[in-house]
Amino acid sequence: MHPSRLLGMQPTRRYAFATPKEPQSAHTISQRLRTLKKIPPELIPLGVVLGVAIAAAIYSSANKLMTDKTLRLGRNRPEDREH
């Protein structure tokens, strides 16, 4: 007897059932935007604060990368070392 049979394991049946489609897969963008009305109003301030925080983080990181002249952008080469 095969060891996997003792444990009750069976090979998966991959294509036995069709994958269910999204209920709104054929809807237009405006119909999808209407689903935003289902968001609870208590979560809107949280989304605004989160959006501002993410935007500030992206701006701060981009500003640092563009303006910092002391930032190492590559490895030190042996000929650049000072003795």
Domain count, the chain: 1
Is residue 75 a part of any domain in this protein? no
How many percent of the chain have pLDDT more than 90?
Answer: 28
Residue 55 in this model has a pLDDT that exceeds 90: yes
Percent of the chain with pLDDT over 70: 63
pLDDT at 41 over 90: no
Is the pLDDT reported for residue 36 higher than 90?
no
The larger pLDDT score, comparing residue 2 to residue 67, is at 67
Question: DSSP of the chain, one letter per residue?
Answer: --HHHHTT-----TTSSPPPPPTTTT--HHHHHHGGGGS-TTHHHHHHHHHHHHHHHHHHHHHHHHH-TT---SPPPGGG---
Is residue 25, in this structure, part of any structural domain at all?
no
Q: Is residue 58 part of a domain?
A: yes
- Do the domain assignments include residue 8? no
Range 39-67 average pLDDT: 94
Q: Is residue 82 part of a domain?
A: no
Domain holding 50, by residue range, is 42-67
37 inside domain: no
Rounded to two decimals, the pTM is: 0.48
